[in-house]
Each structure stands twice: as structure tokens, then as C-alpha cells.
Chains A and B, each alone.
Chain A
Amino acid sequence: MDTRTSTHSPSPSRVGAARIGIGGPVGSGKTALIERLIPAFAARGVSLAIVTNDLVTAEDAERIRRSGLIDPARVAAVEAGACPHTVIREDPTLNIAAADDLEALFPDVELILIESGGDNLASTFSLDLVDWWMFVIDVAGGDDIPRKNGPGVLKCDLLVVNKTDLAPYVGVDLAAMAAQAATARAGRPMALTNCRSNEGVDAIADRIVSDVLFR
């Protein structure tokens, strides 16, 4: 890769860690996906930090800190206190500050995952906060979710359909659900995962390394 220099040099300012968002409804598997992505990024040599958002607790952050998968100091918690989408879209100041703090504490960090508190299908991320974001839905939430055209499903850079293993137990035709999601998103990227068995997670890690870290 060629990094060009210029005869016109701007004032120096640092390119920081990439920041990606992980949104989606309560219980869709956002935290489970993170727990799978941590070792996947470690295997790819990516230095990682994590910001979680909860309504009034640090439940998700504590779960990840206790997992033994990552240095607990690399996990920060933001308590939204109100509508979770507010702190990732309208005023992401708290999350920006949390990510800045992690970068200051760990200058080697290359990627920061920012997990939104569970919200409905309308939640989207501000591009002031993240460079790229995914939205996690799950099969058990209903095969009609892609048809509802929620902004989270339509606008995300990657739609993740999780818990594919549950499809036969909840009467969902997974192929039809995936086809409807692809139609709703006009062919933009989608991934099918079963985080409990780690299916589909490597493909997501590879996509992030390629599309966001440009490796």
C-alpha cells in the first residue's frame, strides 16, 4: 500500500483507532457476538477495546470483563440513562469520550467495538461516533423483521442475522428470511451467524479487517 506524501503538509494530527458500532434489539446476541469476535480479532493480531452501553447498569461490560477473554481495563461502560439510541446518534458525546479514554489508556489499540444498548429497529449510529456499524437481529425475533424496513436494518453497513440454529424451532424459513433481508437492503452485505457455536463469526472478523482496517 502506498502512503503518499505531499508538498502541502497539514498540521499533524493522529489517525486513531477504527470505531465500529454494534446495534440491535434486546436479546439479539450483540454481547454474544462480541464474545466471539474478541478471540477472532486476537487471532488476526488486532489490538481491541470495547465500549458497552446499558440503560442504567454496566451489565454487558461486567459480563465481558468477567469472560476472561480480554483485559478488563479495555472494557468501558456507558450508562445511557434514557433511550439507548440517543447516546449513539443524537448526542454520542459520552461514547466518544469513553472511546477517547480507551485510546489514551491503550495507545496501541487499533479497533474499538461500541455496543449499543438494546433498542428497537429504528436505532442507527452517528458517523461522528463510528466509522462503520452493524445491526444484529435474530431468527427467534421473527422472520418478518427484515420486511419491517426499520432504519437499523436498512442503513447498517452489515446486517447480522443471529441464532440461525433456532430457525426450525420457531417456524422460520431461514432462506426466505435471508432473501427478504437482501431485498430490503438492495443487496448490501449480510451475515448469518450462530454465535453459540461460532458459525459465521470469522467471516465478520475478516470483513471488518478488510473493509475497516484496510488490511
Chain B
Amino acid sequence: MLRIESVLGSRSDPAMHEAIHHLEHHHAVEFVTVAVGDLDRRRLMARTDKGEEVAITLPRDQKLHDGAVLVLDHHRAVIVRAGEQRWLRFTPRSASDALELGYHAGNLHWRVRFDGEDLLVAQDGQASAYAARIEQLISGGRVEMSEEAE
């Protein structure tokens, strides 16, 4: 088991980029995919794409992120890759429906983005669980919901 106790930097850091690029040519770069919802954790168990178990324990002032470099030496690099974030698209029929949808989204602490007249909600769990929270809006045809990947 590989134990990680700090983030060394980001793969985009100029100082690291060159070393990682060199290791890529030798197929010595491994990735640890971490679900978006788990990136805020300071402690988690994960596995590299080559199958090695990784126990991550970070200081409180550090966080994981897409491209976080966990190991970088002359032999290999281990880098975090953020998992796919799925989004739910909510399309309200009218301004008043949008107002009500916005109220519920805030009250439910959903993470949102705006896309024109649509509301995008970061999906963490089954879509049906989100639909159930605003069932009256959806069954009444006031808001349409669809799923999409990032």
C-alpha cells in the first residue's frame, strides 16, 4: 500500500511538467481517479490505474484536485484525475416556474450552474432522488429534467 501525506503540486506546474512529460515517455505515470464528490476529503483510500492501493492522508491546509501530483521521483509519477461530474438540466416553462425552481434548489443546497434559461445541478446520486424533491414541478409540466455528462 502506498501512503500519501501531502500533495506535491500540480502537473501543470512548470517545474513538474517537464519531469512528468519525461516519465510519460517511459509509461511511468499512474493515475488515481477520485470522484468529484470525494475531492474535498483529506483522507481516502483509492487505487491507481495500475492497481496499487493508495491511502491518502492530507494536512488540513491541503486539498486534492484534478492534476494533483502525489508522487514524483525518478521512477514514476502518481497523479489525481477527477472523476466525471454529471449534471442534471432543469428547464423551467416560465419565469415564475424558474423562480420556484430556484427557491427549491437553494433550500436543498444543490450545487448549481446557469446555462441560459436552464438550471444545471451537479448530480451526486440517483437522478430520481432529485426529481422526487420537486415532484410537483415536474409532474405538472412546469419543469423538465434531463441528464447529461460534463
Contact = CB atoms under 8 A, between A and B. Distances in A.
A6 B2 contact: no
Nearest to A96: B60
A82 interface: no
Interface in A1-59: 1-10, 13-16, 18
Interface residues of B, number: 36
B125 A154 contact: yes
B57 A15 contact: yes
Contacts of B1: 1-2, 214
A153 to B, nearest CB: 11
A212 interface: yes
Interface of B: 1-9, 15-16, 19, 40-45, 55, 57-62, 69, 71-74, 109, 124-126, 129, 132
A6 B43 contact: no
A10 B125 contact: no
Contacts of B42: 127, 131
Contact of B9 (A10, A89, A155): A10
A3 B3 CA distance: 5
Contact of A13 (B2, B62, B126, B129): B62
A8 B78 CA distance: 13
Nearest to A184: B129
B41 A127 contact: yes
B19 to A, nearest CB: 8
A9 to B, nearest CB: 8
Range class of the A interface residue count: 20 to 34
A189 B26 CA distance: 40
Given A131-B41, A132-B41, 12 more contacts: A2-B1, A3-B5, A4-B4, A8-B69, A10-B7, A13-B62, A14-B59, A15-B57, A16-B60, A127-B41, A154-B129, A214-B57
Nearest to A100: B60
Contacts of B129: 149, 154
Interface string A91-133: 0000000000000000000000000000000000001100110
B69 to A, nearest CB: 7
A10 B132 CA distance: 46
Given A149-B129, A186-B126, A5 B41 contact: no
B73 A2 contact: no
Nearest to B69: A8
Max chain B C-beta neighbours (<10 A), residue from A1, A4, A7, A131: A4
